[in-house]
Chain A
């Protein structure tokens, strides 16, 4: 398997004397000091278990994709279509779900794919080829039907926000392979999701573990480049001058390691500045690969997500531990045929390309790919507009989820929902157990991956839970 880690660690001397960005011998000393201070914070670490997967690409479908219209079709809804949906009303009902409601059948056609003939939406033309590599899980349940709280729940384990994202926990547990790139990268869609950067926050973990959003336009990392009127020569001269000031200062304050660490952080920043453009240069990919991901598509959404999926692969290949790709727009309350249809058109090719590409290079063996939204959608709807406005509201007790790679089962369905898709009924587990399972698939034990904060050792699952054994092959 070709894995481009050669860019990860140029030897320090090599870098300092040949990159032209170095601060000279001073920085070398400083880096050695600094290394001591930062010892091991982000260095690659052994997990708690042996696991095939070492990296994770988390495809977050923001808005709540309908399981019923994607990977968990409900033929019963054809019979029930437009009959009234009656459920117990309590004061624990969001106002969204009140009023008269009716069952709504899926407007989509389905196809059988893979060796088992798993039924998936016909719109997944490309993804149909990947079904035998995928494990669909239908027993998952969210808790909240409110976007920001449900997103926080899925991403951080805590509905109310403030806790570290899963990518932060994984980077905390496993470190990262490439010290010149962030260990946890987020590739947001056009707009930041509800709840914003809290979805990739390091929470109470130290800032080393924060998710770094890479921007698709301009500088990929904020302020990675100086203002346009600063040229390279000026930057280098200023850095050298800064280095001299810091050297004299450190001579007067020899006992303080943190000074060296800070000098080293400037070096790290500029190694990142040097390495990032290559890492994100999609033009370097062969035309066939660009075509595979849909970069030549007429559908701008396909191009946009295709770029991010390809970028995810390039980053994982270069030793980034955790990449989260956001694909928004799944909040289809009405007109689900158009709204969800266009989402499926947008994600099908890029996501299938990612799986195929990872598989052919062997990276799928060591990369866990996860596809999930923050909750599912209801089999019923309050009727707005006329017959053609079929849609679905938020639904926590059943949702869409699949994963592939590493030790995840292949070509399998785990769990089941009831006949209308309202609730999971088999192998039912809350989000926290999914978190425990995903960590396990990455070689980490949720109960041991803890950090003392707010008065106790905190963990991704919040208070522990159990492994979903069926999801570990």
Chain B
């Protein structure tokens, strides 16, 4: 028997008889040609004049002669190229791209068997099922279904669509949620915080028919709204304050983009404008500071260039990142798939991917001078600048001592002149091993601190069209390549297999052909000029006729309200994404969104005021519902959700009365787990400074969206509760329950501190144990304790008072010195360094040793409240 190593599932092991060639073609050769070859040799490109779409084309071959000689795999260019037998190796990209041996063998067998082509291989290019193209089709605004509203189940047009589907599925809608539940739901939803007892009372007392509407308007007008919904947008756009990878350098004033996003949501900036600003603010509104800050969007991905990296590769990394990112964020398409091959599932050929990428080929990184605006908070800058200048001065002082020591020795060896002009690195060689390593570490920390100090500079981490030397934002190692003016005449090529070393056909800037093909929006007309490419793309994205844009955004909004999108994969409207459960509702909302001037708040209103949103999480017939609609796709009831990580932390701070109301500005350093803060972490070749929480309570207890987002050290508590990973776009927060969450919330120092602060608060606000406990329940749950709960809590309180009276807490211990260690690259030996203390001039939180047994007992109750299901779930 011949050596058949084809996957058993695909072919019987009895080898090739007549007809096997066609099987091979259908099962292996054709899919491989389509994925790996036709991008260049067919479908628009015929590199080397070779067209592999048809058998004739393969037999005729190209500039190098016949690709296939039927029956003779030893001749023709195809098999030799696939086998890497000669100079020509395909697909391009070296061994990494070589096809699996099984596949290559199948090609060989196929040629040997006569190279049969199955029918109509070339037609495959645009052969997509209509049902998979829904998102590319024009919006169909149909009138909301006519439904008899006998039971007041219709509040907004949204209800008509929902009720129609429920009737169709024979699912009776459940009752409305009670007022407290509804208030808690909508308050968390719009602000990420619990309602205060005052807000609860006002709403419960307000018997006006429009009471709920008033609440919605109050919340939409609250500055807390932008902090909550800005966070959603930052999840999608992968916001962080640092650039990741090895050095994880601070991205100067990245926070200005974060604040821009918050302001935009608060101001209900029309979404089309929001798009234009983020993709091309600098080109379209060059005099508007907001539009410059907005382009920080294009710089949010992790990116680093070091001497170990290849500049052309890191530049390409940016281009791929930004192309994919724009596609996913605004168009709900995973363009990245088309980087190496025509998209397997969606009508996005590789050529389109590179045409989109060509839009950004003239885009350069820019650190643009941009004055702080009156509305940007700069009050703490002086103190912050002093902190960094003092820290850097201290590092300089310590380095000078070592430099001097090295200089003396260098002078003795090579003379004064050599010593006088020697740089730090040269002097390091004349130091003892340990001194040399210390010097290196100090240098690194200085570089990192200098980077951080720039957060106070009036600059924007942004982009420009074409390189502007004065705004250079490229690390020196990459300059030689990235500054050579590849921007002005940037010519993008299709990169075969996504490989930079395999450029093929040149392409001009463009957008997705499929949109023009299937919708009413004409193809984008994008100029080849240095400036104006992004503008044209942005205008195409924000065009009301673009079938994807409005659908993608209203679907995101819907998801954040109901826990699940109408189409359940907000970043993927292609074939592989889940199909919409209510396609007509999605289109109606999208059209409504555009009609309302792309107002996000208008979409909130039409959703929040619907009866569907106000439904109880409990259903009268839960068992039947579980049977028919276990995932609650049709919304007969409301789906409860666990709070997101930031909501849990912010709520804990809020009910303790500790949440700072300061907004915006450079990221703050919250209290994180001390072991994590002390954990030494590498920066390229050395160590980064230890994490230090902000000394002032007001600073470190800000809302979590203002926490400094360091890619290499996320707050472990936020991480445990499924926080967003800033290296990836996050379309929806996960809520899996893992034991580390119990550790963080029950044992974490922050939880204990907040519990004690809350205890002090209720002691001040009420005058008996029962009233204090009742107050704590009101703050945490928005309701008074039931009688049995109060009795239970009082019992626990009494027990804990007794316990604490017998077991006083020891005073706060001395903070340990942090000893960091590093392995020297030179000697392989380990060196120790004492890092600065975590808490310098620190305004401590209250400590149990300073509290009475009664206060500590109340803190025990507060801690249990923080950990309880009623606190961390909304219904």
* B-binding residues in A (CB < 8 A): 38, 63, 91-96, 141, 143, 145-149, 160-162, 190-198, 201, 203-204, 206-208, 210, 212, 215, 218-219, 221-231, 233-234, 237-239, 241-242, 244-246, 248-250, 253-256, 258-259, 261-263, 265-266, 268-270, 272, 300-301, 328-329, 331-335, 338-343, 346, 385, 394, 428-430, 432, 452, 454-456, 463-466
CB distance B676 to A339 under 8 Å?
no
| Cα distance A430–B96 in the bound complex, in angstroms | 6
CB distance B825 to A234 under 8 Å?
no
18 pairs across A/B with beta carbons < 8 Å?
A: A148-B245, A148-B304, A160-B302, A160-B317, A190-B823, A190-B830, A194-B245, A196-B711, A219-B675, A255-B622, A333-B825, A342-B828, A385-B429, A454-B336, A455-B569, A455-B571, A455-B574, A464-B100
CB distance A222 to B740 under 8 Å?
yes
**Chain A residues with CB below 8 A from B748, complex form:** 223
| Cα distance A201–B734 in the bound complex, in angstroms | 14
**Chain A residues with CB below 8 A from B722, complex form:** 207
Query: Known contacts being A94-B309, A242-B868, A245-B868, is A223 close to B640, with CB within 8 Å?
Result: no
Segment of B109-117, B269-277, B377-385, B795-803 in the binding face? B795-803
**Chain B residues with CB below 8 A from A241, complex form:** 792-793, 796, 860-861, 864
CB distance B869 to A96 under 8 Å?
no
Q: A339's closest neighbor in chain B, by CB?
A: B828
- The 5 closest A-B CB pairs, nearest first, are A329-B823, A455-B334, A342-B828, A269-B742, A269-B739
Is B2 an interface residue, CB under 8 A from the partner? no
Contact of B827 among A93, A141, A219, A339 (CB under 8 A): A339
Interface size counted on chain B using CB atoms at 8 A? 121
**Can you list, as one digit per residue, whether each of B617-639 has a CB less than 8 Å from chain A (1) or not (0)?**
11100100010000000000000
Is B147 an interface residue, CB under 8 A from the partner? no
CB distance A229 to B849 under 8 Å?
yes
**Chain A residues with CB below 8 A from B333, complex form:** 455
CB distance B100 to A262 under 8 Å?
no
Query: Known contacts being A237-B860, A245-B868, is A96 close to B736, with CB within 8 Å?
Result: no
CB distance B826 to A263 under 8 Å?
no
Is B252 an interface residue, CB under 8 A from the partner? no
**In the complex, how many angstroms separate the beta carbon of B480 from the nearest chain A beta carbon?**
8
**In the complex, how many angstroms separate the beta carbon of A180 from the nearest chain B beta carbon?**
9
Segment of B156-164, B218-226, B678-686 in the binding face? B678-686
Query: Known contacts being A204-B728, A237-B796, is A265 close to B246, with CB within 8 Å?
Result: no
**Chain A residues with CB below 8 A from B828, complex form:** 329, 332, 338-343, 346
**Chain A residues with CB below 8 A from B434, complex form:** none
**Chain A residues with CB below 8 A from B727, complex form:** 161-162, 198
Q: A455's closest neighbor in chain B, by CB?
A: B334
**In the complex, how many angstroms separate the beta carbon of A376 from the nearest chain B beta carbon?**
14
Is B312 an interface residue, CB under 8 A from the partner? yes
| Cα distance A201–B679 in the bound complex, in angstroms | 17
Contact of A261 among B716, B737, B800 (CB under 8 A): B737
Query: Known contacts being A191-B822, A227-B749, A263-B869, is A94 close to B345, with CB within 8 Å?
Result: no
CB distance A455 to B576 under 8 Å?
yes
**Chain B residues with CB below 8 A from A194, complex form:** 245-246, 682-684
| Cα distance A139–B679 in the bound complex, in angstroms | 36
**Chain A residues with CB below 8 A from B95, complex form:** 141, 428-430
Contact of B345 among A230, A329, A430, A456 (CB under 8 A): A456
**In the complex, how many angstroms separate the beta carbon of A122 from the nearest chain B beta carbon?**
17
**Chain A residues with CB below 8 A from B679, complex form:** 191-192, 215
Contact of A223 among B682, B743, B830, B860 (CB under 8 A): B743
Q: A393's closest neighbor in chain B, by CB?
A: B308
Query: Known contacts being A194-B682, A218-B675, A245-B789, is A339 close to B334, with CB within 8 Å?
Result: no
CB distance B675 to A249 under 8 Å?
no
**In the complex, how many angstroms separate the beta carbon of A60 from the nearest chain B beta carbon?**
14
Contact of B860 among A222, A234, A249, A256 (CB under 8 A): A234
Is B205 an interface residue, CB under 8 A from the partner? no
Is B603 an interface residue, CB under 8 A from the partner? no
**In the complex, how many residue pairs between chain A and chain B have their CB atoms under 8 Å apart?**
292
Is B725 an interface residue, CB under 8 A from the partner? yes
Contact of B738 among A239, A249, A265 (CB under 8 A): A265
Q: A334's closest neighbor in chain B, by CB?
A: B826
CB distance B312 to A92 under 8 Å?
yes
CB distance A146 to B246 under 8 Å?
yes
The winner among B246, B481, B820, B848 for most chain A CB atoms within 10 A is: B246
**Chain B residues with CB below 8 A from A335, complex form:** 826-827
Given contacts A91-B312, A194-B684, A231-B807, 20 further A-B contacts (CB under 8 A): A91-B481, A143-B96, A146-B246, A149-B309, A195-B712, A198-B711, A204-B728, A206-B734, A223-B744, A238-B860, A245-B789, A255-B626, A261-B737, A333-B825, A339-B824, A339-B825, A339-B828, A342-B829, A454-B571, A466-B101
Q: B863's closest neighbor in chain A, by CB?
A: A238
Query: Known contacts being A141-B95, A249-B868, is A237 close to B739, with CB within 8 Å?
Result: no
Q: B786's closest neighbor in chain A, by CB?
A: A248
Is B741 an interface residue, CB under 8 A from the partner? yes
The winner among A160, A210, A342 for most chain B CB atoms within 10 A is: A160
**Can you list, as one digit per residue, whether each of B849-875 has a CB less than 8 Å from chain A (1) or not (0)?**
100000000001101110111101101
Q: A268's closest neighbor in chain B, by CB?
A: B739
Is B92 an interface residue, CB under 8 A from the partner? no
| Cα distance A95–B307 in the bound complex, in angstroms | 5
| Interface residue ranges of B238-296 to A (CB < 8 Å) | 244-246, 248
**Can you list, as one digit per residue, whether each of B425-437 has a CB less than 8 Å from chain A (1) or not (0)?**
0000100000000
**Chain A residues with CB below 8 A from B304, complex form:** 148
| Cα distance A207–B799 in the bound complex, in angstroms | 37
Is B752 an interface residue, CB under 8 A from the partner? yes
| Cα distance A469–B270 in the bound complex, in angstroms | 58
Is B131 an interface residue, CB under 8 A from the partner? no
**Can you list, as one digit per residue, whether each of B737-769 has a CB less than 8 Å from chain A (1) or not (0)?**
111111110111100100000000000000000
Is B393 an interface residue, CB under 8 A from the partner? no
| Cα distance A423–B42 in the bound complex, in angstroms | 35
| Cα distance A219–B789 in the bound complex, in angstroms | 34
| Interface residue ranges of B706-747 to A (CB < 8 Å) | 711-714, 716, 722, 725, 727-728, 734-744, 746-747
Is B814 an interface residue, CB under 8 A from the partner? no
**Can you list, as one digit per residue, whether each of B825-842 has a CB less than 8 Å from chain A (1) or not (0)?**
111111000000000000
| Cα distance A229–B821 in the bound complex, in angstroms | 30
The winner among B313, B682, B683, B716 for most chain A CB atoms within 10 A is: B682
**Chain B residues with CB below 8 A from A456, complex form:** 334, 337, 344-345, 576
Contact of A258 among B244, B642, B821 (CB under 8 A): B642
| Cα distance A160–B577 in the bound complex, in angstroms | 24
Q: B848's closest neighbor in chain A, by CB?
A: A229
Query: Known contacts being A207-B722, A234-B800, is A192 close to B308, with CB within 8 Å?
Result: no
| Cα distance A339–B827 in the bound complex, in angstroms | 4
Q: B321's closest neighbor in chain A, by CB?
A: A160
| Cα distance A456–B334 in the bound complex, in angstroms | 9
CB distance A191 to B680 under 8 Å?
yes
CB distance A338 to B868 under 8 Å?
no
**Chain B residues with CB below 8 A from A265, complex form:** 737-739, 741-742
**Chain B residues with CB below 8 A from A91, complex form:** 310-312, 481
CB distance B789 to A248 under 8 Å?
yes
**Chain A residues with CB below 8 A from B744, complex form:** 222-223
CB distance A338 to B827 under 8 Å?
yes
Query: Known contacts being A146-B308, A242-B868, A332-B828, is A95 close to B739, with CB within 8 Å?
Result: no
Query: Known contacts being A192-B680, A241-B860, A339-B826, is A226 close to B746, with CB within 8 Å?
Result: yes
**In the complex, how many angstroms separate the beta carbon of A127 from the nearest chain B beta carbon?**
17
**Can you list, as one digit per residue, whether each of B666-680 has a CB less than 8 Å from chain A (1) or not (0)?**
000000010110011
**In the complex, how many angstroms separate the beta carbon of A279 from the nearest chain B beta carbon?**
15
Query: Known contacts being A94-B307, A265-B742, is A332 close to B825, with CB within 8 Å?
Result: yes
| Cα distance A196–B688 in the bound complex, in angstroms | 12
**Chain B residues with CB below 8 A from A466, complex form:** 100-102
| Cα distance A232–B725 in the bound complex, in angstroms | 35
